[in-house]
Amino acid sequence: MEKIINDALSFAQQILAFDSSGHDYQHVVRVYNIAMMLNSNEKVNEIQLGLTAILHDVDDHKIFNTSENKDNARSFLIANNIENSKIEVIIKDIKNISYSQGDSSLLSKIGQIVCDADRLDAIGAIGIARCFSYSGSTNRSLDDSIKHFDDKLFKLQALMFCDQAKKIAKERSDFMHLFYQQYQKELAESKTRDIGK
C-alpha cells in the first residue's frame, strides 16, 4: 500500500478517535475497503480514490465545526504535496458525497464510487447499527430513529451509481425492510393494551 494511504488512515484515526456517532474510524476503513472492491470493476486511480474515501468524513458537519473549505482534509493533502488540481477535485467530491448537504450530480467518477461506498455502509445490518449509534450520540428518540428509515435509508438503494453497488444495495435494503417489518410488528403487539384502563 502506498505510504500516503497509510498516512491518511493514521490521520483519519486521530481525527475521529473520539467519535461515537457511527462516523468513526471503522466507518472510514469500511468505506475505503468497499470503494476498493467497487473499483475492481470501475478502474479509476486508486490513490485518489483512497484519499477521497479516507478523508470523506474528517470535516463532517455532524461532527466538526469546520468551514466549507474542508480544512482538515485540505491541510492533509497540502502537507502531503498533492498537486492543487487534484486537491480541488478531492475537496469537491468530499463536499458532494453527503446525502443531506451535497449534490451528487457534481461528483467525479471517483466521487461516485466513494459515494456508493459511503451509502452502502449506511444500509443493511451495519447501517441499522450506525443509525442507532448516531441516535444515541444525539439523543434522537427511538421513533425518530425509525422515521429515519423512511426519510433516508430506504431511498439509498435507488441512488447508487455502480452496477455492483446496486446489487449489494438491494440485498442490504431487503434486510432493512425485514427488520423494519419486524419492528412494526412488535410495536403493534406492545400496543394491544392501553395502560391505565
pLDDT tens column, 122-134: 999 999 999 999 9
Tell me: domain 3-190, CATH 1.10.3210.50, correct? yes
Over residues 81-89, mean pLDDT: 96
**Model-level pTM?**
0.93
pLDDT for 22 equals 85
* HSE value, Cβ hemisphere, 13 Å, CA-based, for 157: 16
pLDDT for 67 equals 63
Lowest model confidence (mean pLDDT) among 10-24, 64-78, 91-105, 148-162: 64-78
Over residues 63-72, mean pLDDT: 78
More confident residue, 19 or 162: 162
Among residues 21, 127, 107, which one has the least CA distance to residue 64?
Answer: 21
pLDDT for 194 equals 61
State yes or no: pLDDT of 66 exceeds 90: no
pLDDT for 61 equals 79
Domain ranges of the chain: 3-190
With the C-alpha atoms ordered 144, 166, 52, 36, is the resulting torsion angle positive or negative?
A: positive
State yes or no: pLDDT of 197 exceeds 60: no
**Per-residue buried b or exposed e for 42-81, using 16+ beta carbons within 10 Å of the residue's own CB:** bebeeebbbbbbbbbbbbbeebbeeeeebebbbebbeeee
Task: Annotate 145-189 with DSSP letters as a single string.
Answer: HHHHHHHTGGGGGGG--SHHHHHHHHHHHHHHHHHHHHHHHHHHH
Lowest model confidence (mean pLDDT) among 33-37, 51-55, 141-145, 163-167: 141-145
User: Torsion angle of alpha carbons 18, 23, 25, 30, nearest 10°?
Assistant: 160
